[in-house]
Every structure is written in structure tokens, then in C-alpha cells.
């Protein structure tokens, strides 16, 4: 029997919301097969199907082994011995018998669950050699499932097409972007961190999600009913009827509170002493357009164009980009849309798929890619310029590290304007040009860069990672990722003191605890996920700028991040206590 007792697992909440559904489990590279119950009389047929698939896989592996032996010799071919051993492994087979009798589900679903558990156990062993054999096991699993697929007597896909929660060891930003929004209602992973692009995408898609759940893939069983509490980071397996009721009520309460805030969206985002802060939104996907105005956002402060550009491996040409950008500009008019030029690399897709780097965050990323591919970069710049003729647009550049890059980028932008003049195509001559401040050297050079651009936009996700040398996607150092670290705060201060309009477009801008600090340091704009806009606008309306400014001066003298957070949080709790319930 599948376990039915309620269990609670904890992780890091990365995207708020509550969702109750059955869970589907996915292992890197192989999708979990559909699950359906079988009758007692079908048991033998299921074993026969498995046996056939095992035999076929055995033949395939032996053929492969012979071919490799012929081409490269016996040593190389020996790697398939491990595959063959896994295929008939006695402990896997005996666990399979037990689980199959207990679950009474189709064989591929049970086989998948059992092998997946073994793989997770192997990932945890000390012996590096054994750990490295997980890949072999995964290969065997994939082959057996493929061979069983040809033997279906019932197509499980209809059962697979139910709304569900996805549980996986890890999800890359690209697979998150590809999730079927009609079916996937939320996700949980064992790896992951709060400022990874996977997390940013989850928030942008409005999918409740939790990452960093220890032992997740061992504990969770496909087909179980589960709850994601994306506020607290709680993942509840087999919730009791009382727990379900409690969460249904909580969800209704949260939705009511959110709607009440959204209704106030037309009130100005102005502090109690009259300082206006532009609250714009970050956009990752085309289908968010309609949410933007509904949220009360004053335009788009950061459009992460890479999710559109690198979507299917075929970079859209200038014309295709122009049409897409124009639609967004028109949808947001008269508010401004800031396009960030392509920021490939890092934890997102590399610009060229076969490029593998040991340290992708320090490698061929952001503006470095664009400057080394000027023709492709110029396609994007011309498309943005042309879109600017249809409303209000701006452009900014990621991963700028100093003066020379700014000058090179501006020269290319001017070339694009000249080309459009020659073609007789319109653009807005007043299009604002900015740079992202997310590399510490750029923050230190802010006074030198400021005369050359119209605005700065601080990417706190990268600025934090690069300043304190903490990988933003590495779970092992997640507790060291401190956006309120004095080093980071001083760089933000230094940037703002350069005296040009400065936005915060990283995740720190949506941290209700730190909003008073950012306002006090003098940020003129916060650009946040679309679902957070009403909260941030409300928070600003309840803050006093002078009070925040005085607090920020104290914060700049503080010694550690907790002291800084405490100073800012005190004002936050006093000013908008209801947002913390």
C-alpha cells in the first residue's frame, strides 16, 4: 500500500501561493511515466511486459558493447557491464516485487519509482566511483521505459493529463519556462535557490514553488496527494482532511487580501512625505502583457529578453523581434518599457548550446556575448529602437563591468540609429539608455559611467553573488547569500550617489523587509515581479522617506547583514504590519 500518513517536508519558499493536487515525479532527463491502477488478474501480464523490455534492453546493451569493443577495444566496452548489472540487479528486482504488490500500479510507474529511489541513494554515497554510476542507471532506466512503451495495452496519457504538482531533483530555467501551464500547478525540487532564474520564472508564471527540500525524491511517491505552501516553504504529503480544509481557507484569505490590494492600484506610489517611487514590473514571458496594467505597474522596468530570444534555439531576426517588442510597447503605453539586451549564459541557456564552461557566471555572459556577436546584437538594438516609435521604450545592458564596454555599446547603438535613418525607419530619438549595475566594478565606477547614460538599474541578484562571492544557484551556500550584506549595501549607495535615476530590478526590490532601506538609500524605482507590484505600491504609500533616509545612514555604518535587516525591518513592520501576516 502507498503510505497515507500526513508528512511535512521543509524547503525554501521561492514563489508564493497554495496548491493542492496529486504529484508527478520527474528525474533529470527522463519523464515519469503515467500512473494507473491495475487489477489482480493483470499482474502477470505486467511482469511479462517488464521481462520483455528487460530482454530487449539486454540485447541492445550487448550489441552496443560489441560495437564499442570492435571500434575502441575491450576496456571502453566494459562500461556496459555496469549497465547490464543494473538491469538485473537483485536488490532492485526484489524491491520491485514488494512495491508492485503494494501499489498495484502499472509496471513502468513502479519500476520508475524504484529505480529512481536507488539512484537517489547512490547520489548520497561517499564513494565517488559509485556516485558516478548514477548516470549509467539513468541510461538503463530510460531504455527500459522506452522498451516498455512499445508494449502498452492501455495508453496512460489520458491519466497523465490531469493538473498536477511536479516534483523533481532540479529544474533548469529552460525546463521551467517549458512547463505546461495548463497542467503543472506548482513545483518542488531538492536542489535550487531563491534567486536562481528558475525561482524568478516560477514567480513570474505565478506557480507556487519550493526548492531545497532535503530527501524530496526519496520521500515523495508519484500519485500522492500533496500541498505546496509557497509562503512558508512547507510541502505536505498525504494531507489529512483537516489540513486540506485549513489550507483551502488560508488560500481563500490570501486571495481576498491580494484582491483588496490590487483594487488600490490607482493610488499613487508615493511616500507619506510625497516622494514618488516608480514601481515597474519585471517581465519574462509574452503572456504577461495583460497582467502588467492590471497589477498597477508603471510599465516594465526589466524585460529579460533572453527567454524570448533563446526559446527554441532559433534566434528571431530583427523583423520578428520588432513585431514582438512593438506589441509590448503598445500594450504598456504611455508607460515605459525597458528592454534589457540579451543576457545569455550564467544559469540560463548558453548563447551557443555546445558551449560548456566551468564557471559560467564568470564566463561568456550578458554584454560579453553581445559585443562578440555585433551583428546579432545590432539586430536586437534596431528592433528595440524601431519599437520605441510606438510608445515609450528604453534599453539597458547586462553585466557591464566598466567604461569601455559602455562606450562600445553606445557606439553600436549610434550605428543602429544611423542605419535606421538611412532606411527611413522611425525610432524615438529620446529613447533612454541605461546600464545594469550588477558587477561590483561597475558600482565602483558609477560616477564615471553616469555621464554617459540616462539611468542605472541595479541587479541585486548578481551584485550580491559577485560582491560576496556566493553562487546564486548553489544550495550549499544559500544561507550565505545576503542581499543586505554591508558590502552590497555600500555598493548600492555608491551607485545611487552618482546622481542619475537608479532603479532596483533584482529580487531585493520585492523584499518587504528591505524596501525601507532601498527607498532610504535613494532608489527612484523598484522593478519587481508582476504579482508583487500591488504589495510594493502599498508598502511605499505607508513609508516616510525622511525616516527611511535617516535609517539608511545608520545602516551604512552597520557591521553585518542582520543589523542592517533589523533596522529596515523595524520600519517595515511599523509601517505596513498587515503585509507580514
**Active-site residue list:** 197, 505
* Residue 22 vs 172, nearer CB to ligand PEP: 172
Angle between helices 43-72 and 107-123 (to 10 degrees): 50
Binding partner of residue 505 among ligand PEP, Mg ion, none, CB under 5 to 8 Å per kind?
ligand PEP
Q: What is the closest distance, in whole angstroms, from the C-beta atom of residue 328 to ligand PEP in the complex? A: 17
**Closest to Mg ion by CB, 296 or 459:** 459
Residue 16 or 459 having the CB closest to ligand PEP: 459
Angle at the Cα of 500 from the Cα atoms of 380 and 460, rounded to 5 degrees: 65
Contact 234/10 with Cβ under 8 angstroms?
yes
How far apart (Å, rounded) are the C-alpha atoms in residues 485 and 467? 9
Q: Which of 460, 467, 513, 568 binds ligand PEP (CB under 6 A)?
A: 460
SS3 346: coil
Q: Judging by beta carbons within 10 Å of its beta carbon (0-12, 13-18, 19+), is residue 499 exposed, middle or buried?
A: exposed
Cβ atoms within 10 Å, residue 529: 26
What is the nearest approach in angstroms of ligand PEP to the Cβ of residue 302? 6
If one asks whether residue 505 binds ligand PEP (CB under 6 A), the answer comes out as yes
Task: Name the E strands within 110-233.
Answer: 164-168, 184-189, 209-211, 225-229
Closest distance between ligand PEP and the C-beta of residue 471, in Å? 13
Least CB distance to Mg ion at residue 524 (A) = 19
Shortest spacing between CB 314 and Mg ion, in angstroms: 24
With CB under 6 A as the contact rule, the residue among 190, 462, 493, 511 that binds ligand PEP is 462
Q: Which stretch binds ligand PEP (CB under 6 A): 162-170, 226-234, 249-257, 460-468?
A: 460-468
Q: How far is the CB of 406 from ligand PEP (least distance, A)?
A: 18
Task: Give the closest residue to 465 by CA, choosing from 439, 436, 502.
Answer: 439
Q: Are 540 and 279 in contact (CB under 8 A)?
A: yes
Give the binding range for ligand PEP (CB under 6 A) out of 33-41, 150-158, 453-461, 553-561. Answer: 453-461
Cβ closest to ligand PEP, residue 200 vs residue 514: 200
Residue 462 in the binding site for Mg ion (CB under 5 A): yes
438 lines the binding site for Mg ion (CB under 5 A) = yes
438 belongs to the binding site for ligand PEP (CB under 6 A):
yes
Three-state SS at 131: helix
Is residue 306 close enough to count as binding Mg ion by CB under 5 A?
no
Contact with ligand PEP (CB under 6 A): which of 288, 298, 343, 493? 343
Nearer to ligand PEP, 230 or 459 (CB): 459
Among 13, 208, 296, 459, binds ligand PEP (CB under 6 A): 459
> Does residue 509 interact with Mg ion by CB under 5 A?
no
Residue 99 sits in the site that holds ligand PEP (CB under 6 A)? no
Give the C-alpha distances (Å, rounded to integers) separating 572 from 378, 464, 544, 568: 44, 22, 10, 6
Cα radius of gyration (the chain): 26
Residue 304 as a binder of ligand PEP (CB under 6 A): the answer is yes
By a kind-dependent CB cut-off of 5 to 8 A, residue 516 interacts, out of ligand PEP, Mg ion, none, with none
CB of 211 to ligand PEP, least distance (A): 16
Distance of alpha carbon 81 from alpha carbon 61, whole angstroms? 9
- Establish if 271 lies at the interface with ligand PEP (CB under 6 A): no
The one among 173, 296, 394, 459 contacting Mg ion by CB under 5 A: 459
Residue 526 beta carbon to ligand PEP: minimum distance, rounded to whole angstroms: 12
Asked if 526 contacts 277 with a C-beta cutoff of 8 angstroms, the reply is: yes
The residues near 111 (Cβ < 8 Å, ≥ 6 apart) are 50, 96, 141, 144, 145, 148
Q: By CB under 5 A, is residue 434 in contact with Mg ion? A: no
- Per the CB < 8 A criterion, the answer to whether 341 and 398 are in contact is yes
- Please say whether the beta carbons of 40 and 103 come within 8 A: no
Assign residue 546 a region (left: φ > 0; alpha: ψ between -120 and 50; beta: otherwise): alpha
Q: Is the dihedral of CA 19, 302, 329, 310 positive or negative?
A: negative
Omega before residue 386 within 30° of 0, cis: no
Q: Please, which residue, 189 or 527, has the CB nearer to ligand PEP?
A: 527
Residue (336 or 507) nearer to Mg ion, CB:
507
Stretch that binds ligand PEP, among 384-392, 425-433, 456-464, 551-559 (CB under 6 A): 456-464
Binding stretches for ligand PEP (CB under 6 A): 200, 302, 304, 343, 438, 459-462, 505-506
Amino acid at each position: 500500500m502507498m503510505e497515507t500518513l500526513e508528512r511535512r517536508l521543509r524547503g525554501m519558499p521561492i514563489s508564493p501561493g497554495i496548491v493542492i493536487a496529486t504529484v508527478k515525479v520527474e528525474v533529470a532527463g527522463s519523464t515519469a511515466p503515467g500512473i494507473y491502477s491495475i487489477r489482480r488478474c493483470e499482474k502477470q501480464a505486467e511482469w511479462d511486459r517488464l521481462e520483455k523490455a528487460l530482454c530487449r534492453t539486454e540485447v541492445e546493451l550487448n550489441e552496443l558493447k560489441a560495437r564499442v569493443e570492435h571500434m575502441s577495444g575491450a576496456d571502453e566496452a566494459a562500461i556496459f557491464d555496469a549497465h547490464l548489472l543494473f538491469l538485473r540487479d537483485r536488490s532492485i528486482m526484489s524491491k520491485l516485487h514488494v512495491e508492485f504488490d503494494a501499489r498495484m500500479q502499472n509496471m513502468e510507474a513502479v519500476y520508475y519509482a524504484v529505480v529512481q529511489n536507488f539512484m537517489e541513494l547512490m547520489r548520497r554515497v561517499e564513494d565517488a566511483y559509485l556516485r558516478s554510476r548514477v548516470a549509467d542507471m539513468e541510461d538503463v532506466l530510460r531504455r527500459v521505459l522506452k522498451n516498455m512503451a512499445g508494449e502498452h495495452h492501455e495508453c496512460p496519457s489520458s491519466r497523465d493529463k490531469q493538473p498536477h504538482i511536479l516534483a523533481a531533483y532540479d529544474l533548469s530555467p529552460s525546463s521551467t519556462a517549458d512547463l505546461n501551464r495548463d497542467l503543472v500547478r506548482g513545483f518542488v525540487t531538492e536542489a535550487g535557490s531563491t534567486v536562481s532564474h528558475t525561482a524568478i520564472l516560477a514567480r513570474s508564471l505565478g506557480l507556487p514553488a519550493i526548492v531545497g527540500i532535503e530527501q524530496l525524491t526519496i520521500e515523495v511517491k508519484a500519485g500522492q496527494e500533496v500541498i505546496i505552501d509557497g509562503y512558508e516553504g512547507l510541502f505536505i504529503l498525504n494531507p489529512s482532511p483537516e489540513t486540506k480544509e485549513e489550507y483551502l481557507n488560508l488560500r481563500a484569505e490570501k486571495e481576498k487580501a491580494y484582491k483588496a490590494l490590487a483594487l488600490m492600484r490607482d493610488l499613487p506610489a508615493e511616500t507619506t512625505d510625497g516622494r514618488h517611487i516608480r514601481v515597474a514590473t519585471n517581465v519574462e514571458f509574452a503572456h504577461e502583457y495583460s497582467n502588467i496594467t492590471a497589477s498597477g505597474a508603471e510599465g516594465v522596468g526589466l524585460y529579460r529578453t533572453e527567454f524570448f530570444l533563446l526559446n527554441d534555439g532559433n534566434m528571431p531576426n530583427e523583423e520578428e523581434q520588432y513585431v514582438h517588442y512593438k506589441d509590448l510597447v503598445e500594450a504598456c503605453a504611455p508607460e515605459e518599457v525597458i528592454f534589457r539586451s540579451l543576457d545569455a549564459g550564467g544559469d540560463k541557456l548558453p548563447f551557443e548550446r555546445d558551449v560548456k564552461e566551468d564557471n559560467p557566471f564568470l564566463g561568456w555572459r550578458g554584454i560579453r556575448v553581445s559585443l562578440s556577436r555585433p551583428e546579432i546584437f545590432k539586430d536586437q538594438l534596431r528592433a528595440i529602437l524601431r519599437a520605441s516609435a510606438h510608445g515609450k521604450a528604453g534599453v539597458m545592458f547586462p553585466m557591464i563591468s566598466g567604461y569601455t564596454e559602455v562606450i562600445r555599446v553606445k557606439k553600436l547603438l549610434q550605428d543602429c540609429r544611423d542605419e535606421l535613418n538611412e532606411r527611413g525607419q522611425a525610432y524615438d530619438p529620446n529613447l533612454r539608455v541605461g546600464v545594469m549595475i550588477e558587477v561590483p566594478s561597475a558600482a565602483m565606477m558609477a560616477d564615471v559611467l553616469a555621464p554617459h547614460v540616462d539611468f542605472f538599474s541595479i541587479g541585486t541578484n548578481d551584485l550580491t553573488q559577485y560582491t560576496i562571492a556566493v553562487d546564486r544557484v548553489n544550495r550549499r551556500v544559500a544561507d550565505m547569500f545576503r542581499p543586505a550584506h554591508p558590502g552590497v549595501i555600500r555598493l548600492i549607495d555608491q551607485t545611487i550617489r552618482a546622481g542619475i535615476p537608479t532603479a532596483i530590478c533584482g529580487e531585493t526590490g520585492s523584499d518587504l523587509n528591505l524596501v525601507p532601506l532601498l527607498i532610504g538609500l535613494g532608489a527612484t524605482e523598484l522593478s519587481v515581479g508582476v504579482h508583487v507590484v500591488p504589495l510594493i505600491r502599498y508598502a511605499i504609500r505607508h513609508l516616510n522617506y525622511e525616516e527611511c533616509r535617516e535609517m539608511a545612514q545608520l545602516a551604512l555604518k552597520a557591521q553585518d547583514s542582520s543589523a542592517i535587516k533589523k533596522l529596515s525591518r523595524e520600519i517595515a513592520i511599523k509601517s505596513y504590519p498587515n503585509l507580514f501576516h
